[in-house]
Amino acid sequence: MGDRREFTGKTRKAALARSGGVCEASSSWYGLPDGMRCTNVLSLVGVQYDHVILDANSKDNSLENCAAVCPKCHSFKTRRVDTPTAAKTVAQSLMGMRTRPKQTIPSPPKPPRSEPKLDFTARRNPYTREEIR
């Protein structure tokens, strides 16, 4: 999505402090059994910040919508949850849109004729316009 907004530095620091340095992923959205939390230590595997509710749908960059997660959990959720949800959101928005009515494309203007239009009712010489007998 082109207009994606990132979390502020303050929000990222607060989410990391809240996590205690351990991945915050804890549901089937992240590929884990319900009630189980990922135990990856973020200082060892790296940290990524996830919009719990997809940014394209919520536009919420608050701490409550930010989760400090490991790259593996973030990748799983992005592939299995976020991308299909975003695609569905786009499809639903397009279903309600109307297409523009078809318009005829105007043809370019014709150049003016250099010769007067020929009259075939009388036999005339096309160069001198005199009648031929």
Task: Domain count for the chain, please give it.
Answer: 1
Whether 106 maps to a domain, the answer reads no
Q: Would you state the pLDDT for residue 1?
A: 44
Average pLDDT over every residue of 29-35: 89
CA distance 25 to 7: 17
Residue 96: pLDDT over 70 = no
Whether 58 maps to a domain, the answer reads yes
Is the pTM for the entire model greater than 0.85? no
As beta bridge partners, residue 41 has 22
Handedness of CA 62, 29, 40, 1 (dihedral sign): negative
Whether 82 maps to a domain, the answer reads yes
Which are the contacts of 58, defined by CB distance < 8 A and separation ≥ 6? 51, 65
Average pLDDT over every residue of 73-84: 92
Q: Would you state the pLDDT for residue 39?
A: 93
Whether 101 maps to a domain, the answer reads no
Q: Would you state the pLDDT for residue 88?
A: 80
> What domain range is 83 assigned to?
9-91
CA distance 112 to 127: 19
Q: Would you state the pLDDT for residue 106?
A: 73
- The residue with greater pLDDT, 115 or 20, is 20
Average pLDDT over every residue of 34-61: 89
**Average pLDDT across the chain, whole number:** 82
Whether 105 maps to a domain, the answer reads no
